[in-house]
Structure 1
Amino acid sequence: MSLFIIGDVHGCFHSYLKLMDHWEPKTETLIQLGDLVDRGNFSPLTLRLAFEIKKVFKNSVHFLKGNHEQMMINYLQGEDHSDHWLNNGGKETLEQFKKENLNPESYLGWLSSMPLFWENKNVVVSHAGFSGIGSPLDLDNTDGVLWNRKSLVNLGKLQVIGHTPLVDGRPEFQSSSNSWNIDTGAYKGHCLTGIKLKKDGTFLETISIPTITKDYNSTSSQFHTGLIKSSIEGKSRI
């Protein structure tokens, strides 16, 4: 199975749906590297779609934890005493859940169980990458795989990360660390990017979907259950 790795979605549901049209479930393992929620206008939709996809495709789909998922978890568990999440997109996300008459706590167990990284012999995927400073899997390590913004170390295998939006909206390869950053600033109105690799890390292609305007520049957040259902059923038939 080759790999289809998707960058930070940040609630850009319609752009996410369009990018998912490029996923081939029979031949590709799907990996999303975290930050499904916050910033964009449709976090509940985005989270629900990911949850339903995971239920249907199970072991061929991997949703990793990003720092925004961790902030959301901390808040829902009553451990965010400084309103860190609320001040970083969480307030708007809660309002979206309220409009959709959905309870974000129904996703708490799944969010908490998300892994911090995915790897095989040649590729490792995480939200913010391995800096070589401190314990990479420590949830509170600002240089760990949830929060790091420092240069990456070369692990002897290809790293694919997001977390730090690229100012020109283009995915970037760094030869020194043998790494791709595919956070192309979807919520900023740039684009949402996925990268396709062979399982040995050989690059195949990048696919960038210009962010659909209503994902980041609209007050509308009407719940589109039919879109989610039709998307998953369509993939199941492939």
Structure 2
Amino acid sequence: MLRRLFNRTPKTVPTAPPPVPAGLPAGRVVWAIGDIHGRLDLLDRLLSAITGSDAVRDGVTSTLVFLGDYIDRGSDSRGVIDRLVTLADDPGFETHFLKGNHEDKMLEFLEDSSVGAAWCDYGGAQALESFGLKVPVLRHRPEGWAALSSDLAHRLSPRQRDFLESLEYSLAIGGYFFAHAGARPGVPLDDQSDHDLMWVRGSFLHSETRFERMVVHGHTPTDEPFIDHRRIGIDTRAYESGVLTAVRLEGQDHRFLQAVELADGEIVVRPWSVAMPT
């Protein structure tokens, strides 16, 4: 009996597919833009530089990927939404707009006014102000939040609402995977939950596990763009730092571009160099 047990053929443990090298096929250029948070002024300057440097070229597909968190905290959430809606009609670029946790919370507020206080505590109040609305004076009364949710629904144009409700959760192009927050280690990228794609943080940031593709994300702010063997992070806290970051991907190469608000209020565009760790 023991001999039969020990002589059994061990089960084969499936192995994860090897990572796809971080890169894009020939004829493809991708710009990923980090968390905007209502900074229309920075967005306009950055887009002007991007569209000027990557004009339409024969045989080249230029793609803009926005990583979410277009609203809250900054002063012009409404203007940012309008700008992105207009950009979606630009024939010079293929555009993809991902859903961030702040858009997720705004949409939840439109369906369930009870989350209004929590949303406003981390930036929703500024978004409401951009639509000409204010947080209820008596925050503890549910009827005030219900009225505010209804007012916001009326202030959103059909196209703005459609834009928010049609945001994508993730996108894969070549050897890159784009998501607002990142991805949960140990779960194939194709099987990630919508919630993790918008909200994950610690387990993703602190793991050394590589995914099938290089993950490009925002959500977690840093003073400088971040890159290592498994992820590229480009949330540079635009609403507070005055720095909005994008990364340009072509072939095996990457480079960063930033719109920066100077002390005197002028906005300039500058490159930013981050070395890939060995």
TM-score tier, shorter chain, comes to 0.7 to 0.9
> For the structure 1 residues 25 and 60, does the alpha-carbon distance in structure 2 shift closer, same or farther, using more than 3 Å as the test?
farther
Unpaired runs of 5+ residues, structure 2, are 1-27, 134-151, 266-278
Out of 153, 159, 163, which is 1:110 matched to?
A: 163
3-state SS of the aligned residue for 1:14? Answer: helix
> For the structure 1 residues 151 and 172, does the alpha-carbon distance in structure 2 shift closer, same or farther, using more than 3 Å as the test?
farther
1:29-48 equivalent positions in 2, closer than 5 A: 29-48=63-82
Q: CA deviation at 1:83?
A: 2.6
1:233 paired residue number: none
Say which is worse superposed, 84-93 or 43-52, in terms of deviation.
84-93
1:229 paired residue number: none
* Structure-2 separation of matches of 1:39 and 1:4: 24
* Structure-1 separation of matches of 2:37 and 2:95: 18
2:224 paired residue number: 170
Aligned length: 204
Contact 1:36 1:46 in 2 (8 A): yes
Q: CA deviation at 1:47?
A: 0.8
Out of 168, 172, 175, which is 1:119 matched to?
A: 172
Q: CA deviation at 1:133?
A: 6.5
* Structure-2 separation of matches of 1:121 and 1:130: 17
Out of 45, 49, 55, which is 2:83 matched to?
A: 49
2:33 paired residue number: 6
Contact 1:4 1:29 in 2 (8 A): yes
Say which is worse superposed, 54-63 or 120-129, in terms of deviation.
54-63
- Structure 2 length normalisation: TM-score? 0.66
In structure 2, give the amino acid aligned to 1:171: P
In structure 2, give the amino acid aligned to 1:132: P
Contact 1:131 1:150 in 2 (8 A): no
Q: Which structure has the larger Rg over C-alpha atoms?
A: 2
User: Percent sequence identity over matched residues?
Assistant: 26
Q: CA deviation at 1:90?
A: 1.1
Deviations 1:163-222 (A, max 9, x none): 0110xx2101122xx111000111112410000001x5x23310011136799xxxxxxx
Out of 97, 103, 109, which is 2:131 matched to?
A: 97
Contact 1:11 1:41 in 2 (8 A): yes
CA RMSD, aligned part only? 2.6
> For the structure 1 residues 164 and 191, does the alpha-carbon distance in structure 2 shift closer, same or farther, using more than 3 Å as the test?
same
Q: CA deviation at 1:132?
A: 2.6
2:275 paired residue number: none
* Structure-1 separation of matches of 2:182 and 2:167: 16
Out of 186, 203, 208, which is 2:238 matched to?
A: 186
* Structure-2 separation of matches of 1:78 and 1:21: 38
Establish whether residue 62 from structure 1 lines up as the match of residue 116 from structure 2.
Answer: no
Out of 187, 196, 211, which is 2:261 matched to?
A: 211
